[in-house]
Chain A
Amino acid sequence: MAHDTEVLVLGGGSTGCGIARDLAMRGLEVTLVERGNLTDGTTGRMHGLLHSGGRYAVSDQPSAVECIEENKILRDIAGHCVEMTGGLFVQRPEDPDDYFREKLEGCRECNIPARVLSGREAREVEPYLAKDVKRAIQVPDGAIDPFRLCVANAMDAERHGARIETHAEVIDLLREGDDIYGVKVRHDSGPGKRAHETPGTTEEITADYVVNATGAWAGRIGAMADLDVEVRPSKGVMTIMNVRQVDTVINRCRPKGDADIVVPHETTAILGTTDEEVEDPDDYPEERWEVDMMIDTLSELVPILEEARTIRSFWGVRPLYEPPGRGTKDPTDITRDFFLLDHEDRDGVSGMSSIVGGKFTTYRAMAEQISDHVCEQLGVTASCATADEPLPGSENLAVLDEGMDDFGLRSPIARRSKQRLGSRSAEVLDTDDANPVVCQCEGVTRAEIQDAISQSGSDLNAVRIRTRASMGNCQGGFCCQNMANELHPEYDEGTTREALDELFQERWKGERHALWGEQLSQAMLNYALHATTMNRDNDPASAEGPVDYEAFDGGARTASPPRSDGGER
């Protein structure tokens, strides 16, 4: 099997999807391949902060300026992915005054709206801030859903003719002499939407130009063509709380440090993070001290975090890169700028560029620059329109709340569904079929689940990131099964069972790092429901040998008198 395309994008994170959308909108024929789900790498493992730029206003002003510009653009083109919470840079008594002043000046120099609040004023905004918080700088930070944003980019790319292949792992780069002309991928279940229990295939995809947007994995891809791409993966932990202790982004206002941010996110708040260089982006220790530090250190800012319920923790790897020769020791000192490595200029190998470094908030600007470069390589003159064209779901946000009826849903559920779907609400929710709630914690209805299944096949993790189903307090204990039910009858029983097992294990993976207090009780309840009530741990359908049904109790009916039903039976 072979396939030919103009541009091949490797990596289905925010950068890759952004590039695919940009190029497809410019009229190029684009194919994107991703090893796992969209957002599987770094994008799906961040705290969801839409930077105001305040964070970089002292250390890296060009980045700060870029952030505030993109912040404004994303509010326009991706409104249904953004919640403008606002943010505070909070100073504790022990945090340096000099830095507070520098931060404020820096924000002003970078055109980031910034206002100083007294400790009392800051606590009026966020009542759970520590009593001894000295003062704060208010900036337009926000929260952004990286899954929704990334998926919207991919959907729009598809709408402009792109081919998006998830669960397609690059196993080789095709290189002839000094030219890279494509890749060989292994499909988890054949091309197209993923279907569990379907055997995979391999495919060669040839392209006029290849963009390696695999972030922390860019070195792996480079190595397949003997190219040195020295990414320095750096891990960071994020801990998710079961409720929003704060409604604005809380940053610690001090030069740098671990555990210095809380981002309110949908029904949760996310604590972050650490920054530690690792060897292998796929295999690094996820350690207890990291989780404990999030809670202990951030409790200095928001004391109730000490007693609060966490529902899971996850780690992400940053694709840090610095040009050769700098030799920075501490990963927190490595620039967050991105670099475009044109392998023709750099290594004398044509046909491919690699993108490394960068930040989520500026993914669109990065995609624009890279797409410009690709167009230049291919002699295409079309210009970028991604800063002006809204993403699917964000086309008509102004009229969303006014004109739309509630699709027969109770209002809190309808409101949340509309937030997730944006202007796609009517298309998805306006159904004549029964539309019960499938995930109670997050208020996700069948129509949304079915919409996600139509996009991603039997992959329930892909359904999860599109809908938030199974991402609430119960971490899927109550709804994984119901989500899997929605796959049937389009997918058969075996496929459904495998998809359920995969999702349940995935939910468990992050929950393991939150196993104390309420969440340990929840874990035991989930385990009991799935093992005791459903016997999923010893499912005879998955067991090796057959069950001797005859040996078991068949009931006592022979001993009871027959029912008088006129002999109809």
Chain B
Amino acid sequence: MAIEDDVLVIGGGLAGTTAALAAAAEGAQVRLVTHKQSTLRHASGLIDILGYTPEGDGPIVDPYEALAALPEGHPYERVGTDAVRDALSFFDEIAGDEYAGSHTEANALVPTHGGTVKPTARYPSSTAAGLASLPEDTLLVGFETLSDFDAPLAASHLEAAGAPFTARGVTVPFPGIVRDDAKINRYAHLLDREETVQTGAGETSARDALAATVEPHLEGEPRVGFPAIMGDEHPAEVRADLEDALGVDVFEVPMGPPSLPGMRLEDLMYDALKDAGVRITSGVPVVDYERDGGAIDHVLVDRHGQEIPHRADQYVLATGGLVGKGVRSERERVFEPIFDCYVPHAADRYDWFVEDVFGEQPYARFGLVPDRELRPLDADDEPEFSNLRAVGAVLGGYDYAAEKSGAGVSLATGYVAGGRAGAEASG
């Protein structure tokens, strides 16, 4: 007996969760199967639509205007500009107060932890006060035990990037951090749980102690930026307390992995899945499938060595790209490991890359070729299966890193594919 659903989504990142939510919104019974931790913990938590054109022009102020000019085959071209708008609205509904940026179609410029700025469409509300396009003087605060973020250097870099304000950086000890190699979570938990820490002034709460540490360094700046470790479960509360104590706006600068904003985004999506009644099977891989003519009959999920069949009317593949292992490679080939869908690539692996690390990297575009229904196509441009759609980074033909389009493509394709799969399955 197989486990039966209307729509089965394989993959639990931003694209997969969006697809599952969109399918559920159509009234379908949806199951999401995820294997490992999603790559969201590597991601900044920003929702980029398009920051640069494939030709490298940018930063783009209005991403929607630029979408129209994208080449044929780009995932955005496949779904169309209106679908991108709808998908962002769909996300805005899910995110509620936790994300900002929906008041305008213009991109924001967000300071990065390296001190550059990057264009993005939606940003966590914890980042909102830090926008580089906001001409307010800024104090950045780094911690001496946190080597990922050097606040004085980032401030100096922002100035070199032409930011329209004065930025200053200071490095301070983080109250309550005793070990030099404490994990990021430890910082967040200290603030989240309001733990008691020892300071020169005696015992105090972690938030108070942090504010007291920073306060003497303020020189009238109206905003203060910290690395994105300001709380795990309750970042808004942590931030509000710091703002009250310091009397200035407080914001987070997005960081590399492990990224709390990325993990918070994941939590946001999974809370929404629960609310929408999506069934979740996690920690297990889909390893194989059975075909029924031109369609997928069922897939096999490996649970502790047992292969459990899962059957649905419609399937959505959201297993990620090279990073998420939805696209894999060997010395001689690049492939999609579950359904062996067609992945175009040069025969010689020395043609998979170019010399400049930031050049036009062919490997960055590896992935499945979709039709306008987002069904992956085989080498002859025929759909691989009548009931399989692919979304997010498993799709090829675009370089999300160069374009800053990763989250946007995940949302737009997830929204479209999930919606259609849901409609077909329940209709």
- Chain A residues with CB under 8 Å of chain B are 288, 292, 295, 408-410, 413, 433-438, 445-446, 478, 481-482, 485-486, 488-489, 492-494, 496-497, 504-505, 508, 512, 515-517, 520-521, 523-525, 527-541, 546-557, 559, 563, 565, 568-569
B307 interface residue, CB < 8 Å from A? Answer: no
Q: How far is the CA of A435 from the CA of B180 in the complex (A)?
A: 6
Q: How far is the CA of A504 from the CA of B114 in the complex (A)?
A: 14
Interface contact A505-B148, CB-CB below 8 Å: no
Among B153, B163, B173, B352, the most chain A Cβ lie within 10 Å of the Cβ of B153
Interface contact A438-B247, CB-CB below 8 Å: no
Partner of A485, one of B150, B322, B402: B150
Knowing that A541-B160, A552-B108 touch, tell me 17 more A-B residue pairs with CB under 8 angstroms. Answer: A435-B180, A493-B153, A497-B160, A515-B329, A516-B349, A517-B328, A521-B325, A527-B401, A529-B42, A532-B400, A532-B406, A533-B112, A533-B259, A534-B113, A535-B116, A549-B164, A555-B100
Q: How far is the CA of A563 from the CA of B249 in the complex (A)?
A: 10
Q: How far is the CA of A520 from the CA of B159 in the complex (A)?
A: 35
B83 interface residue, CB < 8 Å from A? Answer: no
Interface contact B114-A534, CB-CB below 8 Å: yes
- CB within 8 Å of A: which B220-268 residues: 222, 243-244, 247-248, 254-257, 259
Per-position contact with A for B317-353: 1 when CB-CB < 8 Å, else 0?
A: 0000111010011110000000000000000111011
B56 contacts across to A, CB distance below 8 A:
538
- CB within 8 Å of A: which B97-147 residues: 100-101, 103-104, 106-109, 112-119, 128-129, 131-135, 144-147
Interface contact B128-A516, CB-CB below 8 Å: no
Partner of B358, one of A434, A536, A554, A559: A536
Interface contact A515-B363, CB-CB below 8 Å: yes
Partner of B44, one of A492, A497, A533: A533
Interface contact A516-B329, CB-CB below 8 Å: yes
Interface contact A527-B108, CB-CB below 8 Å: no
Top 6 closest pairs, chain A to chain B, by CB:
A535-B118, A553-B108, A485-B150, A531-B401, A541-B160, A552-B133
A493 contacts across to B, CB distance below 8 A:
115, 153, 156-157, 159-160
Interface contact B353-A515, CB-CB below 8 Å: yes
A549 contacts across to B, CB distance below 8 A:
109, 132-133, 135, 162-164
20 pairs of residues in contact across A and B, judged by CB atoms under 8 Å: A288-B348, A409-B180, A446-B147, A478-B256, A493-B159, A515-B363, A524-B322, A525-B42, A529-B42, A531-B358, A532-B401, A534-B113, A540-B161, A547-B59, A552-B133, A553-B103, A553-B133, A554-B108, A556-B104, A563-B243
Partner of A535, one of B61, B117, B364: B117
Interface contact A554-B134, CB-CB below 8 Å: yes
B152 interface residue, CB < 8 Å from A? Answer: yes
Partner of B148, one of A445, A482, A569: A482
Interface contact A434-B254, CB-CB below 8 Å: no
Q: How far is the CA of A409 from the CA of B329 in the complex (A)?
A: 38
CB distance from B385 to the nearest CB of A (A): 25
B59 contacts across to A, CB distance below 8 A:
538, 540, 547, 552
* CB-nearest residue of chain B to A525: B323
Q: A516-B330, A517-B329, A528-B42 are in contact. Are A551 and B401 (CB under 8 A)?
A: no
CB distance from B95 to the nearest CB of A (A): 14
B375 interface residue, CB < 8 Å from A? Answer: no
CB distance from B222 to the nearest CB of A (A): 7
Q: How far is the CA of A486 from the CA of B171 in the complex (A)?
A: 12
* CB-nearest residue of chain B to A540: B161
B259 contacts across to A, CB distance below 8 A:
533
Interface contact A537-B162, CB-CB below 8 Å: no
A548 contacts across to B, CB distance below 8 A:
61
Interface contact A533-B254, CB-CB below 8 Å: yes
Interface contact A553-B131, CB-CB below 8 Å: yes
Counting contact residues on chain B (CB < 8 A from A), the size range is 35 or more
A537 contacts across to B, CB distance below 8 A:
358, 401-402
B58 interface residue, CB < 8 Å from A? Answer: yes
Q: How far is the CA of A528 from the CA of B149 in the complex (A)?
A: 18
A565 contacts across to B, CB distance below 8 A:
243-244, 247
Interface contact A436-B146, CB-CB below 8 Å: yes
Q: A434-B180, A541-B160 are in contact. Are A569 and B247 (CB under 8 A)?
A: yes
B133 contacts across to A, CB distance below 8 A:
549-555
Among A538, A546, A568, the most chain B Cβ lie within 10 Å of the Cβ of A538
B153 contacts across to A, CB distance below 8 A:
485, 488-489, 493, 496
- CB within 8 Å of A: which B153-181 residues: 153, 156-157, 159-164, 173, 180-181
Interface contact A523-B363, CB-CB below 8 Å: yes
Q: How far is the CA of A512 from the CA of B150 in the complex (A)?
A: 29
CB distance from B38 to the nearest CB of A (A): 13
Q: How far is the CA of A413 from the CA of B180 in the complex (A)?
A: 12
CB distance from B108 to the nearest CB of A (A): 4
Interface contact B349-A288, CB-CB below 8 Å: yes
Q: A488-B150, A527-B357 are in contact. Are A539 and B144 (CB under 8 A)?
A: no
B270 interface residue, CB < 8 Å from A? Answer: no
CB distance from A100 to the nearest CB of B (A): 32
Interface contact A529-B248, CB-CB below 8 Å: no
Main secondary structure of the interface of B (DSSP, over half): loop
Interface contact A515-B106, CB-CB below 8 Å: no
A554 contacts across to B, CB distance below 8 A:
108, 131, 133-135
CB distance from A500 to the nearest CB of B (A): 8
CB distance from B176 to the nearest CB of A (A): 14
Partner of B322, one of A436, A445, A446, A520: A520
Interface contact B181-A413, CB-CB below 8 Å: yes
A528 contacts across to B, CB distance below 8 A:
42, 323, 400-401, 406
B19 interface residue, CB < 8 Å from A? Answer: no
Q: How far is the CA of A33 from the CA of B358 in the complex (A)?
A: 33
Interface contact A529-B108, CB-CB below 8 Å: no
Per-position contact with A for B179-201: 1 when CB-CB < 8 Å, else 0?
A: 01100000000000000000000
* CB-nearest residue of chain A to B177: A434
A515 contacts across to B, CB distance below 8 A:
329, 349, 352-353, 363
* CB-nearest residue of chain B to A547: B162
A489 contacts across to B, CB distance below 8 A:
152-153
B146 contacts across to A, CB distance below 8 A:
436
Q: How far is the CA of A520 from the CA of B119 in the complex (A)?
A: 27
B404 interface residue, CB < 8 Å from A? Answer: yes
CB distance from B244 to the nearest CB of A (A): 6
Interface contact B112-A534, CB-CB below 8 Å: yes
Interface contact A555-B131, CB-CB below 8 Å: yes
Partner of A524, one of B116, B323, B356: B323
A547 contacts across to B, CB distance below 8 A:
59, 109, 117, 161-162
* CB-nearest residue of chain A to B117: A540
* CB-nearest residue of chain A to B158: A541
Interface contact A505-B247, CB-CB below 8 Å: no
Interface contact A504-B357, CB-CB below 8 Å: yes
* CB-nearest residue of chain B to A434: B144
Q: How far is the CA of A292 from the CA of B131 in the complex (A)?
A: 49
B296 contacts across to A, CB distance below 8 A:
none
B180 contacts across to A, CB distance below 8 A:
408-409, 434-437, 445
B129 contacts across to A, CB distance below 8 A:
555, 557
A553 contacts across to B, CB distance below 8 A:
101, 103-104, 106-109, 131, 133
Among A489, A494, A527, the most chain B Cβ lie within 10 Å of the Cβ of A527
CB distance from A505 to the nearest CB of B (A): 6
Q: How far is the CA of A486 from the CA of B142 in the complex (A)?
A: 13
A409 contacts across to B, CB distance below 8 A:
180-181
Q: How far is the CA of A512 from the CA of B129 in the complex (A)?
A: 40
B48 interface residue, CB < 8 Å from A? Answer: yes
A520 contacts across to B, CB distance below 8 A:
322, 329, 352, 363
B398 interface residue, CB < 8 Å from A? Answer: no
Interface contact A541-B243, CB-CB below 8 Å: no
Among A438, A446, A485, A525, the most chain B Cβ lie within 10 Å of the Cβ of A485
Q: A435-B180, A488-B150, A524-B363 are in contact. Are A551 and B404 (CB under 8 A)?
A: no
Interface contact B128-A555, CB-CB below 8 Å: yes
Interface contact A550-B357, CB-CB below 8 Å: no
- CB within 8 Å of A: which B13-28 residues: none
